[in-house]
Structure 1
Amino acid sequence: MQIASAYIHIPFCQQICHYCDFVKFFYDDKAADDYLEALEKEMKGYVPGEKQKMKTIYVGGGTPTVLQTHQLQRLLEMIDTYFDVSVCEEYTFEANPGDLDQEKADLLAEYGVDRISLGVQTFDNQLLEDIGRVHREDDVYINIERLRRAGITNISIDLMYGLPNQSVELFEESVDKALSLELPHYSSYSLQIEPKTVFHQRYKRGELSKPPEDEEVEMYHLLQRKLREQGIYHYEISNFSMPGYESKHNLTYWDNAYYYGIGAGAHGYLPGKRTINIRPLPAYLKKANEDGKPVLHEEPVEVKEMMEEEMFLGLRKMEGVSKRRFLEKYDRVVDEVFDGAVAELAEKGLLSDENGYIRLTEKGKLFGNDVFSSFLLDS
């Protein structure tokens, strides 16, 4: 496998959301300038010569579009210097509603960005305030119109369910408003209360509670049904799209393929190893400026781990794990490698094994972690 994808992390935000555990810092003009300088040194470390041809580029955060216009242009020029954007099949930027004025939207389109992932989360203004978001419902409509005016129509939005004080009815209202936008892609995630977040502190003090589990399950099933009725098909546990609009970059992860991880705290997957970059901003800047290699940790990936990850990641896709592709990659038969686990899980109704693909059943989607643990190999 060749390295044909890159994830680039921009860690700055206007405000820190209460649930977020990604590497992020409050936006500061000088810090952003310093970060872009260090980021370029890291890019050059990976691509020291001519532009590298890429299949997908994904710029995430944080909030990449919180950068000032001249900083955003510098970032786009930098990416264009080291990666051949002209042959890229998908070039995505994350954005928050409210961050995109028309000048930024036009700038993204000018430099070849053809896909935007908008962090909407909910269309309910009170819930947006409760989870620490700064945008409001109207900002979503305004930003989508600006993107379409710039010529960017491949737009995805994120929705969250299982939020504190969120009823099934409130979630249904958000889903209906999202579908009214007639977008080609939707992602939806259940709230996870992660350590070192505002919500985690509140949860420990007994000040925060999520909806009951059966209501979360109802929200998930409601989401599946409503999107299916609109011709939006479910291609991964948390992702839905019109045919042909699946996230090619995220499929890189689920197909267990290689990608660069560039930026503070970014994770990468390179031949024979996974990498994790330094998270604290001052330490990242120092190391990147020294030698262009701000890696905190490298973990060797042996064939055993690769086969395990092939199952964990591949089973997230509704398509499932291709037994033929597994054989081609590892020269091993999947059923033999995992010693009857597939048949056992199929008997329990958690997996299906048909037409050369191993897939999660509807029951299996609700017990995914139990299924995945069955594919851990003994050392």
Structure 2
Amino acid sequence: MKAERSRAPQAVYIHIPFCTNKCFYCDFNSYVLKDQPVMDYLRALDREMELTVQQTPPGEIRSIFVGGGTPTVLNPQEMEFFLASVRRHFPHWSSDIEFTMEANPGTTDLDKMTVMKDGGVNRVSFGVQAFQNELLSGIGRIHNTDDVYRSLDNARAVGLNNLSIDLMFGLPNQTVEMLNYSVSRALELGLPHYSIYSLKVEENTLFHTLYHKNQLPLPSEEEELNMYLLLMERMQQAGYKQYEISNFAKPGLASRHNITYWKNEDYYGLGAGAHGYVGRQRHVNIKGVNPYVEAAKAGLPRLEQFGVSREEAMEDFVMVGLRMLDGIRKADFRKQFDEELDDVFAQPLNKMLSAGLLETHEDGEGYRLSKQGVLFGNEVFAEFIGILTV
């Protein structure tokens, strides 16, 4: 059992698929809360946790991340049931566990925040997106800026201080000046962590439909680049380290759970539509709420499960690892695969170094994106796709 525990994932992702409404850009596995069988879903999730830990017993858990949807649409009683399930099935927590829950401003009153804190949540990530109400309504958000301040006050009132907010840029009708204003308002809050993402127009969203009708007034590519340059400069000036392409933190307060993904480490994935990665096996769960609930009665609610080849794992190691601004280390690659990074990926590494999009670490023992490479990350990652698996 001890050997098994040492191999067990130390990170848990749990999906709560309910939302108050569907945002215009969202392609996540989420469903409007009204008339949904919430308790049936939470009981099914409890059952999936039970079956999962039977199959792969948990060791010491270092991070738990509850995403959605909007997990904070659960009422206090539902939240209490859910958090008790998590604690029951994953009882061994590290002393410095990071337990994050995503939240939307306006869905977090004091009662709910108290239940979250009592249930072990110690980090909250708020989906703020912008500090202009007209931009918020234009992307389908139902909160306003007053809700943001109220929600942060509620979190702090119950002793939750490890807080993060998400902002977005490249939104319809957004200007560089508007982003600058949002960044200023965000920095005034003095939070430990900020995630700032560019809008991606995804299939099966209202924005995708509008885009193809030429009815989505997006900023130009040049404006979007200027937005990214601005936010990187502003965050650096304010003392935040850019530790990943879209993420900024005060020293020691980077998102541990997200780093699990970027280091290509194992994690449990639980809930409707959740992805997991354990022992070089990836799985995707059934997406619909009722189909998930029914499937969990019979066993693990898998939509598909497949092995990841050694070659694919190597490609993943490089692609997700280079998202982090500290990049990848040769020793880590050697430890995982017993091969030399420079031998396996000589051609794309040399090409990206020559193009000035990658640079070597000072000690010569690894690689990271250059300043220019950060702006063209997707082009760099594409060079490593299919190199070994064609």
Q: TM-score, normalised by structure 2?
A: 0.94
* Aligned residue runs from structure 1 range 231-310, under 5 A: 231-291=239-299, 293-310=300-317
Gaps of 5+ in 1: none
CA distance in 2, matches of 1:274, 1:288: 18
1:345 Cα shift? 1.0
Partner of 2:75: 68
CA contact (8 A) 1:86 1:112 kept: no
1:172 partner amino acid: N
Cα deviation, residue 341, structure 1? 2.1
| Structure 1 residue 29: Cα displacement | 5.5
**Equivalent runs, 1:146-185 vs 2, <5 Å:** 146-185=154-193
| Corresponding residue of 1:225 | 233
TM-score, normalised relative to structure 1: 0.97
2:383 is equivalent to residue 374 of structure 1: yes
Task: Please name the residue that 1:79 is paired with.
Answer: 86
SS of the residue 1:93 aligns to: strand
Which of 101, 122, 126 pairs up with 1:114?
Answer: 122
What is the aligned residue count?
Answer: 378
Question: In the TM superposition, what whole-angstrom CA distance separates every residue of 1:185-209 from its partner, at most 9, and x where no partner exists?
Answer: 0001000000001111111122113
What do the CA deviations read for 1:157-198 (whole angstroms, capped 9, x no partner)?
000000000000001000000000000000010000000011
What is the DSSP-based 3-state SS (H/G/I as helix, E as strand, rest coil) of the residue aligned with 2:37? Answer: helix
Partner of 2:332: 325
* TM-aligned CA deviation for residue 366 of structure 1: 2.1
Q: Which amino acid aligns with 1:24?
A: S
Q: State the match for 1:4 in structure 2.
A: 10
Q: What is the deviation of 1:282?
A: 1.9
SS of residue in 1 equivalent to 2:215: coil
Give the secondary structure class of the aligned counterpart of 1:211: coil
Aligned to 2:221: 213
Q: Which runs of 4+ in 1 moved over 4 A?
A: 49-52
- Is the alpha carbon distance of 1:57 and 1:18 closer, same or farther for their aligned partners in structure 2, counting shifts above 3 Å? same
2:54 aligned counterpart, secondary structure: coil
Sequence identity, in percent? 43
Residue 50 (structure 2) aligns with: 44
Q: Would you say the 8 A contact 2:357–2:372 is kept in 1? A: yes
Q: CA separation in 2, counterparts of 1:352 and 1:86?
A: 38
Partner of 1:95: 103
- Distance in structure 1 (CA, Å) of the matches to 2:10 and 2:92: 11
Name the CA distance, whole Å, in 2 between partners of 1:305 and 1:48: 28
Task: Tell me the C-alpha RMSD between the 2 structures.
Answer: 1.4
After superposition, give the CA deviation of every residue in 1:44-79 in whole Å (9 maximum; x if it has no partner).
011239875311100000000001111111111111
Q: CA deviation at 1:85?
A: 6.0
Given the alignment of the two structures, is residue 15 of structure 1 paired with residue 21 of structure 2, yes or no?
yes
**Structure 1 residue 86: deviation in Å?**
4.2
Shift of 1:284: 1.0
Distance in 2 between residues matched to 1:378 and 1:227, nearest whole Å: 37
